């Protein structure tokens, strides 16, 4: 790989500003920035990044690396895909040094043919034969601009329309099948979508990954989604997020709706912070996706039994991932797109403003199940049910508040509610959902003197001159020694910051993971490089002396009195004086 390209990209892009797109909560803390980690669930920020070093590191789940590593992890990209995206963003020209892997090729190919299909369907909608579909769209009050913004399309009532066009453009039967656009039969490929209004499904990166199709006229099923493919996993995409992202950040809140038409109708009326899952229930993946944009989600649901159940279940998934959830419902039994078309954005937002906290919502639902005042037995039922919701809440403070709320509204003691929450089996919140597995620490993490010395040297490489007395035997691990040597070597070249870390990484590639952590370890507020580095070096030297002394004593004992050679006795004396110093 062309290292120069990578360096150029890193120089041009600020890792903190880049990460901020995914982690809006980044706050300055000394020389670095901190936030709750996007890769694991936590309530106290342990995710750190630094512009100066060009690195990120999470002290909670040990995820760490440079801007490439971050993008690969958060978007699930291969290195080549991340390189392509970052080079584009940085305006750096590059030629891929190696061919794409099989998987990358399949994905790139699928992206290409899905784009082709999107354009094909979109043209159909505005063609002469497409007038019947335009009629339908008009009946649903969608404007031409909206159709263009969402790139809506039309699949003709023709079994091979797309297949023929795609093959004329050079795509194979296999391409069509892999992208989920055709089914292969004995008679050749047959279009998956026929006589449907087409909704391209575009992920948050702007890639077309599949389609949803609504039948025009009679027929089943009413809505048909692409099958899962190399690009498309239903539970990983939220419809509309590619357009809603900036608005969600601006509003500080996302609103979850049920279907494509809801999202499109709401966006058309100006409520452009709305998204919807693709006919599936909400998943942890959805929750993590939303968390890149905001911590606050309002679930707008159908006030029927199924809708209430879905809102509650979805809400629980969202809170388990550390999101704050409210629920709201529309009066009159109208769908969101119908409601907003009839009453306007202001009325719609008024409803959102009246949304209830998930806990209040669940409490009211439970209380409505029983006659008032509650009998002792009914109270037990209600508390047991509500304790499950409380137990999903990862934030201790919110959990307490909820227990208090429930206690007041059900009429029991708060301690009883908390006791019920703590019952075994109820604490469903696990702080490490899908967190990357922690790498084996290459540097002895329990040796604080070594950890600090290496970290402080990365902050103040000129301090290396204070460590001349240290030798390999002073260090508790080979890894620590290798990193120490690499840092001292590089410090001599006068490098600092990102360049220093980069050079050290090249000199000791096996310890790159440990290096990232060290580079982002914050020195104490009263950090004085000369004093603190000298103190660490002294402690390490003493540890080394002690270690050697123990070894000498062991040898002397093994040899027995009278058999100890002169040199060993001399060394013993010398070590004793050094230790006293
Ligand atoms: Zn983490």
Instruction: Give the Å distance between the CA of 45 and the centre of ligand 1.
Output: 9
| pLDDT (mean) for 473-495 | 83
When pLDDT is cut at 50, 70 and 90, the band that residue 337 belongs to is very high
CA distance 183 to 193: 10
Instruction: Give the Å distance between the CA of 63 and the centre of ligand 1.
Output: 6
Instruction: Give the Å distance between the CA of 413 and the centre of ligand 1.
Output: 36
| Whole-number pLDDT of residue 56 | 95
When pLDDT is cut at 50, 70 and 90, the band that residue 440 belongs to is very low
| Whole-number pLDDT of residue 167 | 96
| Whole-number pLDDT of residue 443 | 62
Instruction: Give the Å distance between the CA of 35 and the centre of ligand 1.
Output: 10
When pLDDT is cut at 50, 70 and 90, the band that residue 427 belongs to is low
5: nearest Cα among 86, 122, 102: 86
Q: Would the pLDDT of 388 be above 80?
A: yes
299: nearest Cα among 322, 321, 323: 323
Instruction: Give the Å distance between the CA of 328 and the centre of ligand 1.
Output: 32
Instruction: Give the Å distance between the CA of 437 and the centre of ligand 1.
Output: 10
Angle at 388 between CA 382 and CA 391, to 5 degrees: 130
3-class SS string, 11-58: HHCCHHHHHHCCCCCCEEECCEEEECCCCCCCCCCCEEEECCCCEEEE
Q: Would the pLDDT of 433 be above 70?
A: no
| Whole-number pLDDT of residue 492 | 79
Buried (b) or exposed (e) across 87-107, using 16+ Cβ within 10 A? Answer: beebebebeeeeebeeebebb
**Model confidence pLDDT, tens digit, residues 23-52:** 888 999 888 999 988 888 777 899 999 998
**Model confidence pLDDT, tens digit, residues 165-207:** 999 999 999 999 999 999 999 999 999 999 999 999 999 888 9
When pLDDT is cut at 50, 70 and 90, the band that residue 441 belongs to is very low
| pLDDT (mean) for 399-418 | 93
Instruction: Give the Å distance between the CA of 186 and the centre of ligand 1.
Output: 51
Instruction: Give the Å distance between the CA of 89 and the centre of ligand 1.
Output: 26
Instruction: Give the Å distance between the CA of 47 and the centre of ligand 1.
Output: 6
Instruction: Give the Å distance between the CA of 261 and the centre of ligand 1.
Output: 36
| Whole-number pLDDT of residue 161 | 97
Instruction: Give the Å distance between the CA of 345 and the centre of ligand 1.
Output: 38
User: Which residues does 341 contact at the CB level (< 8 Å), separation at least 6?
Assistant: 141, 265, 269
Instruction: Give the Å distance between the CA of 522 and the centre of ligand 1.
Output: 17
Buried (b) or exposed (e) across 535-559, using 16+ Cβ within 10 A? Answer: bbbbbbbebbbeebbeebeeebeee
Instruction: Give the Å distance between the CA of 72 and the centre of ligand 1.
Output: 15
Q: Would the pLDDT of 435 be above 50?
A: no
| Whole-number pLDDT of residue 541 | 85
Instruction: Give the Å distance between the CA of 78 and the centre of ligand 1.
Output: 20
User: Which residues does 311 contact at the CB level (< 8 Å), separation at least 6?
Assistant: 299, 301, 327, 329, 361
What residue ranges in 311-448 does DSSP mark as E strands?
324-329, 356-357
| Whole-number pLDDT of residue 2 | 55
Instruction: Give the Å distance between the CA of 33 and the centre of ligand 1.
Output: 14
Instruction: Give the Å distance between the CA of 344 and the centre of ligand 1.
Output: 42
Instruction: Give the Å distance between the CA of 42 and the centre of ligand 1.
Output: 8
Instruction: Give the Å distance between the CA of 64 and the centre of ligand 1.
Output: 9
When pLDDT is cut at 50, 70 and 90, the band that residue 268 belongs to is very high
Buried (b) or exposed (e) across 19-56, using 16+ Cβ within 10 A? Answer: bbebbbebeeeeebbbbbbbbbbbeebbbbbbbebbbb
Instruction: Give the Å distance between the CA of 164 and the centre of ligand 1.
Output: 49
When pLDDT is cut at 50, 70 and 90, the band that residue 79 belongs to is confident
Has this prediction a pTM greater than 0.75?
Answer: no
User: CB within 5 A of ion ligand 1: which residues?
Assistant: 37, 39-40, 58, 60-61
Instruction: Give the Å distance between the CA of 332 and the centre of ligand 1.
Output: 44
| pLDDT (mean) for 356-378 | 91
**Model confidence pLDDT, tens digit, residues 522-556:** 888 888 888 888 888 888 888 888 888 888 888 88
Instruction: Give the Å distance between the CA of 520 and the centre of ligand 1.
Output: 14
Q: State phi, psi for 56 to the nearest 5 degrees.
A: -130, 155
Instruction: Give the Å distance between the CA of 518 and the centre of ligand 1.
Output: 16
Instruction: Give the Å distance between the CA of 242 and the centre of ligand 1.
Output: 25
Instruction: Give the Å distance between the CA of 495 and the centre of ligand 1.
Output: 29
CA atoms within 13 A on the CB side of 477: 17
- Please identify which residue in the block is written with the tokens 């299909």: 117
Instruction: Give the Å distance between the CA of 288 and the centre of ligand 1.
Output: 13
Q: Would the pLDDT of 434 be above 60?
A: no
Instruction: Give the Å distance between the CA of 431 and the centre of ligand 1.
Output: 10
| Whole-number pLDDT of residue 460 | 87
Q: Would the pLDDT of 430 be above 70?
A: no
Instruction: Give the Å distance between the CA of 453 and the centre of ligand 1.
Output: 24
3-class SS string, 425-491: CCCCCCCCCCCCCCCCCCCCCCCHHHHHHHHHHHHCHHHHHHHCCCCHHHCCCHHHHHHHHHHHHHH
Instruction: Give the Å distance between the CA of 280 and the centre of ligand 1.
Output: 28
Instruction: Give the Å distance between the CA of 38 and the centre of ligand 1.
Output: 7
Instruction: Give the Å distance between the CA of 48 and the centre of ligand 1.
Output: 9
Contact 121, 154 (CB under 8 A): yes
User: Which residues does 414 contact at the CB level (< 8 Å), separation at least 6?
Assistant: 403, 404, 407
Contact 328, 256 (CB under 8 A): no
Instruction: Give the Å distance between the CA of 240 and the centre of ligand 1.
Output: 27
Instruction: Give the Å distance between the CA of 285 and the centre of ligand 1.
Output: 16
Dmax over Cα atoms in the chain, in whole Å? 109
Instruction: Give the Å distance between the CA of 41 and the centre of ligand 1.
Output: 7
| Whole-number pLDDT of residue 6 | 87
Instruction: Give the Å distance between the CA of 132 and the centre of ligand 1.
Output: 52
When pLDDT is cut at 50, 70 and 90, the band that residue 96 belongs to is low
- Please identify which residue in the block is written with the tokens 């890792």: 15
Q: Would the pLDDT of 578 be above 50?
A: yes
């Amino acid at each position: 790989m062309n290292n120069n390209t990578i360096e150029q990209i890193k120089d041009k892009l600020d890792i903190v500003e880049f990460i901020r797109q995914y982690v809006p909560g980044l706050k300055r803390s000394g020389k670095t920035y901190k936030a709750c980690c996007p890769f694991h669930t936590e309530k106290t920020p342990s995710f750190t990044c630094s512009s100066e070093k060009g690195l990120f590191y999470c002290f909670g789940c040990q995820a760490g690396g440079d801007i490439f590593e971050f993008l690969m992890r958060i978007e699930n990209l291969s290195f080549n895909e991340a390189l392509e995206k970052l080079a584009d963003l940085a305006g750096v020209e590059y030629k891929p040094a190696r061919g794409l892997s099989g998987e990358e090729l399949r994905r790139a190919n699928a992206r290409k043919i899905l784009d082709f299909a999107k354009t094909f369907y979109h043209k159909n909608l505005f063609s002469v034969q497409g007038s019947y579909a335009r009629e339908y769209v008009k009946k649903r009050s969608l404007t031409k601009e909206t159709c263009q913004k969402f790139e809506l399309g039309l699949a003709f009532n023709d079994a091979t329309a797309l297949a023929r066009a795609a093959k004329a453009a050079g795509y194979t039967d296999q391409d069509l099948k892999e992208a989920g656009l055709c089914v292969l039969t004995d008679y050749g490929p047959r279009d998956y979508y026929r006589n449907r209004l087409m909704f391209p499904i575009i992920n948050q990166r702007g890639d077309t990954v599949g389609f949803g199709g609504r039948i025009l006229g009679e027929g089943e099923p009413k809505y048909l989604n692409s099958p899962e493919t190399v690009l498309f996993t239903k539970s990983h995409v939220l419809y509309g997020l590619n357009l809603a992202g900036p608005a969600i950040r601006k509003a500080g809140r996302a609103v979850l709706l049920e279907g494509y038409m809801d999202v499109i109708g709401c966006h058309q009326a100006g409520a452009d912070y709305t998204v919807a899952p693709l006919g599936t229930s909400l998943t942890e993946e959805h929750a993590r996706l939303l968390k890149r944009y905001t911590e606050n989600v309002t679930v707008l649901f159908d006030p029927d039994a199924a809708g209430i159940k879905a809102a509650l279940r979805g809400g629980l998934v969202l809170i388990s991932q550390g999101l704050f959830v409210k629920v709201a419902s529309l009066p009159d039994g109208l769908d969101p797109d119908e409601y907003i078309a009839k009453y306007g954005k202001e009325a719609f937002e008024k409803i959102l403003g009246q949304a209830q906290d998930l806990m209040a919502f669940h409490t009211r639902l439970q209380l409505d199940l029983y006659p008032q005042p509650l009998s002792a037995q009914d109270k037990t039922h209600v508390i047991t049910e509500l304790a499950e919701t409380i137990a999903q809440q990862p934030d201790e403070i919110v959990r307490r508040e909820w227990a208090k709320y429930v206690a007041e509204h059900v009429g029991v003691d708060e301690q009883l509610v908390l006791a019920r929450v703590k019952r075994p089996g109820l604490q469903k919140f696990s702080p490490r959902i899908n967190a990357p597995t922690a790498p084996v620490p290459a540097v002895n993490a329990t040796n604080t003197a070594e950890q600090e010395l290496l970290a402080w040297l990365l902050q103040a490489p000129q301090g290396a001159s204070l460590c001349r007395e240290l030798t390999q035997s002073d260090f508790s691990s080979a890894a620590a020694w290798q990193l120490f040597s690499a840092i001292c070597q590089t410090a001599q070249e006068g490098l600092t910051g990102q360049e220093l870390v980069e050079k050290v990484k090249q000199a000791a590639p096996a310890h790159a993971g440990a290096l990232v952590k060290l580079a982002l370890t914050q020195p104490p507020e009263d950090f004085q490089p000369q004093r603190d580095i000298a103190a660490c070096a002294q402690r390490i030297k003493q540890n080394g002396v002690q270690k050697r002394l123990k070894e000498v004593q062991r040898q002397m004992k093994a040899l027995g009195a009278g058999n100890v050679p002169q040199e060993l006795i001399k060394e013993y004396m010398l070590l004793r004086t050094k230790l006293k110093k």
